[in-house]
Amino acid sequence: MARIVMKFGGTSVADLNRIHNVARHVKREVDAGHEVAVVVSAMSGKTNELVGWVENMPKVAGSNAPFYDAREYDAVVASGEQVTSGLLAIALQSMGINARSWQGWQLPIRTDNAHGAARILDIDGTDITRRMGEGQVAVVAGFQGLGPDNRLATLGRGGSDTSAVAIAAAVKADRCDIYTDVAGVYTTDPRIEPKARRLKKIAFEEMLEMASLGAKVLQVRSVELAMVHKVRTFVRSSFEDPDAPGMGDLMNPPGTLICDEDEIVEQEVVTGIAYAKDEAQISLRRLADRPGVSAAIFGPLAEAHINVDMIVQNISEDGSKTDMTFTVPSGDVDKALRVLGDNKEKIGYDVIQSESGLVKVSVIGIGMRSHAGVAASAFRALADKGINIKAITTSEIKISILIDGPYAELAVRTLHSTYGLDKS
């Protein structure tokens, strides 16, 4: 007997038939004698609709209210998960399974005060653990918790992954299964490269890079939590027949296991290729080369909540002037240019240049730590295809390359085959 947390994303609970199908997945594990907690997302499209309602509330003429109240945003947006938790509990009950729904505030799942993007601080798992022991399935609404102000708080888009992993850690689950509409984590996006392969296993650190660099399978925060609490997390499909052979396998269910790197015996040098679209590059030319310049640039950008990614500074030729280039999401360029313009005196640059519509392609693998020449082969392969590289950053386990948008797919496919990731 094991304790399992099962999380179902929006497409898996998109309508009543799919919720019924999800209930069959849960029944399979219950019938096998496991203790089960389920975490659900809102029905697909629901959260977008709720967010749209909040954002499109007509304003009183002449009102200059800058923003809606984030606490009320949370009150509205958290409702999507409340609906699915109740519906799934009903579906389970109709199959003769003892189940009940839980809202975040009922456990409670305690969060910080950052409404709209709250972080989980603590989960009281006592009640659900006891009831799971008595054979009751806990159906928990994902994405939501209770803030220190005693009000509903949501965890940021995609946050029910994080709910699931956090609950798995809190109830000391043997496994956390993230059910989605794809069969696992792939070496790259199969829509771009049909030769992409499903990975049997991927290390937490690699998954963290994949998720941060554009692979949209899991919320980044959920991977961080899984890594810290060593939660064995499976990414698997809810669209397979719940009763197909092997689906209930405790050690080796179909899907991708995200786990400690020690568990991965045959470590490849490169595990996957990720890409992030809609990057923009900003360059400040002829900056003064003196202490405090970077702080003068990135301090105000951080205050404006602009997420700066790759940063490249050149070593000055004469010790007096230098250039600084960095990337931000395309949607933030105008804001960034405004902030930098406002601070021109303080920063002290000559001209500012920017370009949108770029793509960051990244090669990821913990095997890189012990192999030389991994970056060089990427550069060679891209050069052979005539793809120009605009900026490069590296870490121990990844190489990120900034290129022009139209070359994204070619670059992904080229790198995928360069590192032998194509399925045969």
- Site of interaction with ligand ASP (CB under 6 A): 9-10, 41-42, 47, 80, 142-143, 157-161
Question: From Mg ion, ligand ASP, none, which one binds at residue 195 (CB under 5 to 8 Å depending on kind)?
Answer: none
**Residue among 131 and 236 whose Cβ is closer to ligand ASP:** 236
Q: Binding mask 313-352 vs Mg ion (x if CB under 5 A, - otherwise)?
A: ----------------------------------------
Cβ neighbours of residue 244 under 8 Å, at least 6 residues apart? none
Beta carbon of residue 81, minimum distance to ligand ASP (angstroms, whole number) = 6
Question: From ligand ASP, Mg ion, none, which one binds at residue 116 (CB under 5 to 8 Å depending on kind)?
Answer: none
Cβ neighbours of residue 150 under 8 Å, at least 6 residues apart? none
Contact 390, 358 (CB under 8 A): yes
**Residue among 217 and 340 whose Cβ is closer to Mg ion:** 217
Alpha carbon 422 to chain centroid, angstroms: 24
Contact 163, 39 (CB under 8 A): yes
Cα(364)–Cα(241) distance, integer angstroms: 32
Cβ neighbours of residue 289 under 8 Å, at least 6 residues apart? 316, 319, 320, 321, 322
Least Cα distance to 5 among 159, 130, 128, 147 occurs for 128
* Residue 142 is a binding residue for Mg ion (CB under 5 A): no
Beta strands 35-40; 137-141: pairing state: parallel
Give the range of 9-17, 30-38, 85-93, 194-202 binding Mg ion by CB under 5 A: 9-17
Kindly report whether the peptide bond that precedes residue 108 is cis, defined as omega within 30 degrees of 0: yes
Cα(330)–Cα(365) distance, integer angstroms: 27
Determine how many CB atoms are found less than 10 A away from the CB of residue 345.
7
Which of 5, 9, 360, 363 is in the footprint of Mg ion by CB under 5 A?
9
Least Cα distance to 250 among 39, 93, 35, 88 occurs for 35
**Residue among 147 and 158 whose Cβ is closer to Mg ion:** 158
**Residue among 9 and 214 whose Cβ is closer to Mg ion:** 9
**Residue among 118 and 378 whose Cβ is closer to ligand ASP:** 118
Q: How far apart are the first and last CA of the chain?
A: 38
Burial class (CB in 10 A: 0-12, 13-18, 19+), 400: buried
Residue 231 φ/ψ region, left for φ over 0, alpha for ψ in the -120 to 50 degree band, beta for the rest: beta
Give the range of 51-59, 150-158, 292-300, 409-417 binding Mg ion by CB under 5 A: 150-158
**Residue among 158 and 365 whose Cβ is closer to Mg ion:** 158
Beta carbon of residue 186, minimum distance to Mg ion (angstroms, whole number) = 16
Which residue carries 């038939």 as its tokens? 17
**Residue among 185 and 399 whose Cβ is closer to Mg ion:** 185
Give the range of 59-67, 108-116, 151-159, 383-391 binding Mg ion by CB under 5 A: 151-159
Cα(193)–Cα(271) distance, integer angstroms: 15
Beta carbon of residue 42, minimum distance to ligand ASP (angstroms, whole number) = 4
Beta carbon of residue 48, minimum distance to ligand ASP (angstroms, whole number) = 7
Beta carbon of residue 254, minimum distance to ligand ASP (angstroms, whole number) = 22
Question: From ligand ASP, Mg ion, none, which one binds at residue 238 (CB under 5 to 8 Å depending on kind)?
Answer: none
Sign of CA dihedral 27, 32, 36, 39: negative
Beta carbon of residue 46, minimum distance to ligand ASP (angstroms, whole number) = 7
Beta carbon of residue 141, minimum distance to ligand ASP (angstroms, whole number) = 10
**Residue among 161 and 206 whose Cβ is closer to Mg ion:** 161
Which of 158, 214, 255, 367 is in the footprint of Mg ion by CB under 5 A?
158
Beta carbon of residue 154, minimum distance to ligand ASP (angstroms, whole number) = 8
**Residue among 10 and 184 whose Cβ is closer to ligand ASP:** 10
Beta carbon of residue 166, minimum distance to ligand ASP (angstroms, whole number) = 13
Contact residues for Mg ion, defined by CB under 5 A: 9, 158
